[in-house]
Structure 1
Amino acid sequence: MIICGGAALRQEIIDDFDAFGITIMNGYGITECAPLVTCNRNEYQKKGSIGRPILHQDLRIADPDENGEGEICVRGPNVMLGYWKNPEATAAAIDEDGFFHTGDLGRLDEDGWLYITGRLKNLILFANGKNIYPEELENMLGGIPGLGEVVVYAGESRTQKSREVVVAEIYPDPDKMRLLNIEDPQSYFEQEVHKINKDLPAWKSIGLVRLRDSEFPKNTSRKIQRFNIDRSID
């Protein structure tokens, strides 16, 4: 058995391990909640979900959209009392009902299972009012053979302020690209993204594929530092 947390894990990876008789259970936690919030249990799981809340804990979705997706909020004895000597940050994070606002986006199904859709600070919101979750698209792109890393973001135009385009910036895995004998990576990834776009509504489709020669900048825990990425498209 493997218990997974810290980052999203594609369902096909879980299914592949399951085919070999190895169970992977997804869970969700955050430091301010000491840290476990939800988890799947052995023989008590739901595909795509990160589980149900642990005992003595309340979950709610703040400001849900038409799909029931909004910010995940947690209340319970495991939630911190506040940030050390920082009452302003504490007041911003914990509301008057005692719910901690995680900054993560998700939804609860009718049986109380939680599904993560992204981070509030990463959310792409264009003029059409539709929400685009970069993590959702990154998860789809993650299955492309030869892809090493990918970040999806809203491109920023210096000359056309009203231009709105979803960008997929990709770092190809050099070893896998050699094994696949890919001679034109740009054309290859554009074709693969085009296949994915066919199953997406027009407002969510990826409009620009950008390749990079090196890995994305990361912090000490090896998470990509999105704020260090140049998002200009002209």
Structure 2
Amino acid sequence: MVNNVYDLVTRTMEQEFPGRVAFRWVEDATGTVKEKTYAEYAQDIRRAAAWFARNIPEVEGKRVVLLSRNCYEYGVNTFGAVLAGAVLVTMNQKKTWDELSWELELAEPALILNDGVDYGCRDQLEAAYGERLRPMDVWKDTAPGGLEKKIDPNALMVMLFTSGTTGRSKAVMLAERNFFTVMQMHVAMGDHLLDFKHRQLPEDKNDVLSNFAILPLFHLGTFICLFSWPFKGWALNLCSDLRNFYRDLGLMHSDSIAVAPVLMESIYKDVKRGRADKLNGLWNPCGSSAMFDSEMLLGLVENGMYITQCYGMTETCGDGLVNYAQAEPHIRALGKPDGHCEYKLDETGEICIRGGCVMLGYYKDPEATAEIIDKDGWLHTGDLAREDEDGYYYMVGRKKNLIILGTGENVSPEELERKLNACPEVQECVVREMGKKIGALICCAEEKQAEVRAFITGLNRTLPLYQRITAVEFSTEPLPRNAMGKLLRR
């Protein structure tokens, strides 16, 4: 199996699948679908690599930052930059200037490639980094150049920032070996998808699948697809704006989609309400590192969908647990170890991972690195789980989210949130410490607040004293989430 970027481009893209479609996207100006084959993609990667090598002095190790919505050039710049010897850095272009400027100062970019859109801090970006800003297709008039196999598999190649649901994001340092360790899991997952398709859709002889990439490419969950989908010569159908979700999905048939909880719920509602035709044949929603309602997942399975779930984190390059179960009791699980790295639950029940997937560390933060990776090389994920007799891991909660009471008891907010979400009037909620009380911030309609309070009163009667929710705040507006759709706790 290919185990490096150079071979992925020169062998897989250029020799194995040159005529297959690598990317599709809908051009906003015309509303038509545009395509790029792997041969065209590889030629543009060669252009980008040549441009970076010529225009970044002493390019080796220099940082190239991408600030852009999902687009074809994102993939070109990713491989072009690292093949030239630079370090590729992805960032969330929609962050506030306070957050973005902090990350840029940390990364010290030689270049910032951007899509030219003002996401709220364009003036500050131009004032601070104007001479280093370039368009995403800066290389378009450059002749394709030669490529060299020179990436050190154990050296820093890519930096991605954590989602930061409770504080400042950290810059995760990943090497080439991290990505290609994880590819073993992704290739196996692709085989599972084809097996399902052959069983359920025997009349469809097409073994070339496509993935609808709606989650942002700056996040590992989508970024990793730039590496994994070329392995089988499959296509990424790019969507740059959630508001165009149904338009783009309708124009580009997609087999698979990586989803955050809110998107999984939206797909479920479409299926449940008889609107599955809006999904244009989509059949594989893939959940990632989230706890999904098992009733919802079973409902999707009953309507012909194949649910896959992956558990991982940026710090493990997305590697971790995989769940192919389509029925109770295991469909609600995070999954089983994928077999390519080592996994265990420590004495506290925390999921720990060791192997080639584990990051190099947090950039310029050795203290935080030492807190998460122990002396024996085990990465402590911060997620608490239990393992059943069949080897499936089930999420219990997030270690850093635990509410530690003055009496010494630990309360899992996620457990209480699941109970609160059983109330039909609760749209979404976050349980956290409020003063010295266990509190809940709940989104619901104003006229339903009394019903929710009554539900909480009844719920409290079933809970031990130390777990009871004694402070409640309401919001009629959706609760704040990060770019991946996870509720913010701060």
TM-score normalized with structure 1 length = 0.78
SS of the residue 1:147 aligns to: coil
Structure 2: how far apart are the matches of 1:105 and 1:7?
Answer: 13
The alpha carbon displacement at 1:53 in A equals: 0.7
The Cα offsets for residues 170-210 of structure 1, whole Å up to 9 and x where unpaired, read as: 011x4xx7xxxxx4x22110112233334322321222332
Structure 2: how far apart are the matches of 1:102 and 1:80?
Answer: 12
SS of the residue 1:32 aligns to: helix
Cα distance, 1:117–1:92 mapped onto 2, change above 3 Å: same
The alpha carbon displacement at 1:126 in A equals: 0.9
Structure 2: how far apart are the matches of 1:143 and 1:137?
Answer: 10
Per the alignment, residue 305 of structure 2 pairs with 22
The Cα offsets for residues 17-71 of structure 1, whole Å up to 9 and x where unpaired, read as: 233233323321101111120011256981431111111222222332xxxxx32
Structure 1: how far apart are the matches of 2:461 and 2:307?
Answer: 31
Per the alignment, residue 122 of structure 1 pairs with 401
Per the alignment, residue 49 of structure 1 pairs with 333
SS of the residue 1:153 aligns to: strand
SS of the residue 1:36 aligns to: coil
Structure 1: how far apart are the matches of 2:309 and 2:465?
Answer: 31
Aligned amino acid, residue 314 of structure 2 = T
Per the alignment, residue 373 of structure 2 pairs with 94
- Paired residues of 1:189 and 1:209 also in contact (CA < 8 A): no
Greater C-alpha radius of gyration? 2
Structure 2: how far apart are the matches of 1:47 and 1:167?
Answer: 30
Structure 2: how far apart are the matches of 1:85 and 1:154?
Answer: 31
Aligned amino acid, residue 59 of structure 1 = Y
Structure 2: how far apart are the matches of 1:212 and 1:106?
Answer: 31
Structure 2: how far apart are the matches of 1:126 and 1:63?
Answer: 21
Aligned amino acid, residue 29 of structure 1 = G
Structure 1: how far apart are the matches of 2:461 and 2:309?
Answer: 29
- Paired residues of 1:14 and 1:23 also in contact (CA < 8 A): no
- Paired residues of 1:26 and 1:50 also in contact (CA < 8 A): yes
* Structure 2 residue 451 is the aligned partner of structure 1 residue 167: no
* Structure 2 residue 416 is the aligned partner of structure 1 residue 137: yes
Note the 1:153-192 alignment, pairs <5 A: 153-156=432-435, 164-172=436-444, 174=445, 183=447, 185-192=448-455
Structure 2: how far apart are the matches of 1:169 and 1:85?
Answer: 35
Root-mean-square deviation (Å): 2.3
The alpha carbon displacement at 1:112 in A equals: 2.6
Q: Residue 112 of structure 1 is aligned with which of 388, 391, 394?
A: 391
- Paired residues of 1:2 and 1:23 also in contact (CA < 8 A): yes
Structure 2: how far apart are the matches of 1:46 and 1:223?
Answer: 23
Identity among equivalent positions (%) equals 36
Structure 2: how far apart are the matches of 1:74 and 1:153?
Answer: 28
Cα distance, 1:125–1:42 mapped onto 2, change above 3 Å: closer
Q: Residue 146 of structure 1 is aligned with which of 399, 408, 425?
A: 425
Structure 2: how far apart are the matches of 1:6 and 1:61?
Answer: 16
Structure 1 spans left out of the alignment, 5+ residues: 65-69, 157-163, 178-182, 228-234
Aligned amino acid, residue 467 of structure 2 = K
Cα distance, 1:169–1:42 mapped onto 2, change above 3 Å: closer
SS of the residue 2:362 aligns to: coil
Aligned amino acid, residue 41 of structure 1 = Y
- Paired residues of 1:103 and 1:119 also in contact (CA < 8 A): yes
Structure 2: how far apart are the matches of 1:74 and 1:41?
Answer: 20
SS of the residue 1:197 aligns to: helix
The Cα offsets for residues 71-111 of structure 1, whole Å up to 9 and x where unpaired, read as: 22111211112223433322222111110011222222343
Cα distance, 1:201–1:48 mapped onto 2, change above 3 Å: farther
Structure 1: how far apart are the matches of 2:409 and 2:394?
Answer: 19
* Structure 2 residue 490 is the aligned partner of structure 1 residue 207: no
Structure 2: how far apart are the matches of 1:192 and 1:46?
Answer: 29
SS of the residue 2:320 aligns to: strand
* Structure 2 residue 315 is the aligned partner of structure 1 residue 32: yes
- Paired residues of 2:430 and 2:441 also in contact (CA < 8 A): yes
TM-score normalized with structure 2 length = 0.39
Structure 1: how far apart are the matches of 2:407 and 2:417?
Answer: 21
Per the alignment, residue 290 of structure 2 pairs with 7
Structure 2: how far apart are the matches of 1:154 and 1:89?
Answer: 24
